[in-house]
Amino acid sequence: MPRYRITLEYDGTPFAGWQSQPGLATVQGSIEAAFQRFTTETVDVRAAGRTDAGVHALGQVAHVDLQRSWEPRKIREAVNFHLRPLPISLLACEEAAPDFEARFSATSRHYLFRILNRRAHPALDVNRVWHVMAPLDADAMHTAAQTILGRHDFTTFRATACQAASPMRTLDRLVVTRVGDEVRIETSARAFLHSQVRSMAGCLKMVGEGKWRVTDVRRALDASDRAACGPVAPPSGLYLVRVGYQVASVAPGTDAAENEDA
């Protein structure tokens, strides 16, 4: 049974998240239905990260097993045909090693959070940015972000519904920059906890507005208490940009195996 690795982009706005749910439109369910229409097979598409409702992807990775071999280009074209007009696109498809796991083999995940920082509402990026009208100090936000890099107990930035076995995570990168009216938060780690990126973005926004001091983000982290977290940012500004892999698989039980929607 051949295994295929697929790379996807999607607008999460009309979906109740990645994971299939009875009676709801989901990214996973839509892709599996497209595969079934193409191959007549019932398939299980497994993703590197189970993005939440309203969260977007520029480079989501998944794997799928099929009963017969197909040319990867044929899979991409046929599945994209059956996905129309849904806002999901297969960007690439390739044959994968039998032990490749989109989730467990991942060694890094990279997210972007976009904040539109101006008085005027978005006309072209509705549901694709977090619109914040109050002026934000991106430099202060970046300084605060550097205080929580490294391996820590991220309970403060973890959703109460998070199912990860441990709140310990290693945050490799958290960068805040301004490009015109847009403040961008870029972050990388092997794995994230459920709502971790949106929680960090919400706290950094408080710093940018001057409602929190730069030191308050680290103080919130050290509290290891969800109640110490600021307001959680909305899903509309969050994008899964890229998932990194090495040739060898990462064994279950590592951070990568416990990744939750960020």
At 40, phi and psi to the nearest 5? 65, 10
Task: List, as one string, the DSSP characters of 217-258.
Answer: HHHHHHHT-GGGS-PPPPGGGEEEEEEEE-SSPPPTTSGGGG
Q: Check residue 31 and report its DSSP letter.
A: H
Active-site residue, 99 included: no
C-alpha span between 183 and 160 (Å, rounded): 27
Q: What distances in angstroms separate CA 238 from CA 84, 195, 213, one per listed residue?
A: 23, 10, 24
Neighbours of 253 (CB within 10 A): 10
The single residue of 11, 52, 125, 139 carrying the catalytic annotation is 52
- Contacts of residue 127, Cβ cutoff 8 Å, sequence gap at least 6: 11, 13, 54, 236
Task: Yes or no: say if 32 and 45 are a contact pair by the CB < 8 Å rule.
Answer: yes
What amino acid positions are annotated as catalytic residues? Answer: 52
